[in-house]
Amino acid sequence: MTLQTKIVLRLQFLVRVVRKECQHLGTTDQRLFKSVFSLERATQLEADPDLAERVEAFVSRFGRLQDTVGDKLLPLLLDALGEKTGAAIDNLDRAERLSLIQSADEWMSMRILRNQMIHEYVEDPVVLISALQTGHAFVPGLIAAAEKMIAEIEGRGWL
**Does residue 122 have a pLDDT over 80?**
no
The pTM (predicted TM-score) of the whole model is 0.93
Helix H, strand E, coil C: the string for 73-107 is HHHHHHHHCCCCCCCHHHHHHHHHHCCCCCCHHHH
- pLDDT score recorded for residue 126: 86
Q: Is the pLDDT of residue 119 over 80?
A: no
- Mean pLDDT lowest among 1-10, 19-28, 120-129: 120-129
Q: What is the mean pLDDT of residues 89-97?
A: 96
In one letter, which amino acid is 27?
Answer: T
Region 16-22: mean pLDDT is 98
What is the spatial distance between Cα 57 and Cα 50, in angstroms, rounded to a whole number?
A: 10
Architecture of domain 3-155: Up-down Bundle (1.20)
Q: Around Cβ 102, how many Cβ atoms within 10 Å?
A: 14
- d(CA 56, CA 42) in angstroms, rounded, equals 12
